[in-house]
Amino acid sequence: MFDELPLQTLSAYNYLIGGYLKHGNVQESLSLVRRMVHSGEKPDGFTFSMIFKASASGCGSGRVMLPRFLERMSHAQMMKLDVEPDEVLYTALVDSASVEEAENVFNKTVEKDVVVFNAMIEGYSKSVETAKKGIEIFVVMQRLNFRPNISTFVSVIGVCSVLSSVEIGQQVQGQIMKTEFFMDIKIASALVDMHAKCGRIENARRVFDYMPEKNVFTWTSMIDGYGKNGNSNEALKLFYVMQECCVKPNDVTFLSALSACGHAGLLAKGREIFESMERGYSIKPKMEHYACMVDLLGRAGRLDQAWELVMGMPEKPNSDVWAALLSSCRLHGNVQMASIAANELFKLNAENRPGAFVALSNTLADAGKWDGVSELREMMKALGVSVGFALCFSIPPHLRSRHNRLDCRVGVELHLPLLLVRNHPGRVRTWFDKGSRSCHEVVHL
């Protein structure tokens, strides 16, 4: 239909580019951008926002080969064409990991408005490394007499969540209470999430109970907060109350409920929740849900059932699923299954999973399989995997003065994971001989 249009306008190009991106056709969207430029049509801010989105999604997928420096080339072209930036463009710039480019456009924008400031705050909230800048922008915009709106407050509360800064969050909440926005569902939901992530679960519940209206995100934040703050029973109670209130849980809600079951070891309840996803709500479990369930089964000692679940998955298990199984095998000393899980994990993501080497090493060491430990160390050398872990036992009071010496040796001489060894006195360094039992479980050097 597009090719049959008598006049292919900028809007038509943008609609088609957006359609390609929505269906994951990154290369086709970029080809259409090139075609648009060659036709003499000038891209606008919306076009460039989609290019940055294509760059972010393409690089993240690992399946699409994109031109090197696509973001920088697009940014340079955008500046050359003097494209007027807006909220969508700023957000796309930051989402594509081009924080510096977004800052450059922001600083060169003469007539700034609340929309522009909001986009920058939201962009900075994506990472703990840049989150503090979000607070700075929030302060600057008010000094310039720009009045924060709902989007501003939601974004800055998100910044406080990332920083776990409850003090700043409370100041922002106090400012919100003086406005007409305090009862807004988006702001209240963000406050619930912020207090929960900062460990102030009572404050989160106070805001939650005060809300006249709640959506699925509000309920999920409260459930997740209870689970992560060690109150699994309250999390599950709220999970069922939510359904009684006719609020349909989404996949994140189920993940929070399963996680709560995992923290409390509630296997039967977790299995019931997992099975209800498809049966009751037609929600297909994702990798995260399977990883949670494998961890739950594994912690309960049901390794055979965990293995059956992994083998019966409709898709190939990812590294999170194998890591959950490996951790459970380590806990229960199942060397054979641990080796299989570790090998699958190494195939998928060896360099970014150094903890897997440590888990498998410790499992082999506990079983006395020193040949396997040596082979694993050689594999790590070949792969160039380095683990900067300290020894996994506590130093008793009478040895704490030697802690620095230990750290120095670990940092300078040992670039491999440290393996716990029991009942091998010949392998224990003499300066641990008078230690406690935990210190006799020292290192295989």
Model pLDDT for residues 96-126, shown as the tens digit of each residue? 556 777 787 777 777 788 888 888 898 888 8
Place of tokens 């840049």: 130
pLDDT at 181: 92
pTM for this predicted structure: 0.69
Q: Say yes or no: 332 and 436 in one domain.
A: no
Instruction: Show Cβ contacts of residue 34 under 8 Å, excluding neighbours closer than 6 positions.
Output: none
**Does a structural domain hold residue 105?**
yes
Q: Say yes or no: 77 and 5 in one domain.
A: yes
**Does a structural domain hold residue 20?**
yes
CA distances from 358 to 60, 333, 369, 410 (A): 28, 14, 14, 15
Return the structure tokens found at 404.
């620095």
Name the more confident of 362 and 274: 274
**Does a structural domain hold residue 212?**
no
Of 55, 82, 111, the position where a domain reaches its end is 111
How buried is 63 (Cβ within 10 angstroms: 0-12 exposed, 13-18 middle, 19+ buried)?
A: exposed
For residues 65 and 19, is the Cβ–Cβ distance under 8 A?
no
Place of tokens 């406005």: 179
Q: Say yes or no: 436 and 346 in one domain.
A: no
Task: State the CATH number of the domain containing residue 321.
Answer: 1.25.40
Q: What is the pLDDT of residues 6-33, one digit of tens each?
A: 777 888 888 887 887 777 777 777 778 7
Name the more confident of 359 and 169: 169
Q: What is the pLDDT of residues 36-72, one digit of tens each?
A: 877 877 777 777 777 776 665 544 444 444 444 455 6
**Does a structural domain hold residue 193?**
no
Q: Say yes or no: 409 and 354 in one domain.
A: no
Q: Say yes or no: 361 and 415 in one domain.
A: no
Q: What distance separates the 2 farthest-apart alpha carbons in the chain?
A: 89
Cα 34 to chain centroid, rounded: 34
- Listed ranges 121-130, 252-261, 431-440; the one with the highest mean pLDDT: 252-261
Q: Say yes or no: 349 and 392 in one domain.
A: no
Of 63, 82, 111, the position where a domain reaches its end is 111
Of 81, 111, 141, the position where a domain reaches its end is 111
Return the structure tokens found at 356.
């897997």
Give φ, ψ of 420 to 5 degrees.
-70, 135
Q: Say yes or no: 375 and 411 in one domain.
A: no
Q: Say yes or no: 295 and 397 in one domain.
A: no
Q: Say yes or no: 410 and 371 in one domain.
A: no
Name the more confident of 52 and 91: 52
Structural domain of 347? 286-384
For residues 218 and 253, is the Cβ–Cβ distance under 8 A?
no
pLDDT at 302: 94
The string over 4-42, giving b where at least 16 C-beta atoms fall within 10 Å of a residue's C-beta and e elsewhere, is eeeebeeeebbebbbebbeeebbebbbebbeebeeeebe
Rounded Cα distance, 361 and 372, in Å: 8
**Of 6, 88, 76, 82, which is closest to residue 47 (Cα–Cα)?**
88
Rounded Cα distance, 252 and 379, in Å: 37
**Does a structural domain hold residue 394?**
yes
User: Residue 244 pLDDT > 90, yes or no?
Assistant: yes
Q: Say yes or no: 394 and 377 in one domain.
A: no
Q: Say yes or no: 305 and 352 in one domain.
A: yes
CA distances from 397 to 394, 409, 431 (A): 9, 20, 14
Tally of CB atoms within 10 A around 80: 8
Q: Say yes or no: 104 and 12 in one domain.
A: yes
Our count of domains for the chain comes to 3
* 188-197, 385-394, 418-427: the lowest-pLDDT one: 418-427
Return the structure tokens found at 277.
């996803």
User: Residue 427 pLDDT > 60, yes or no?
Assistant: no
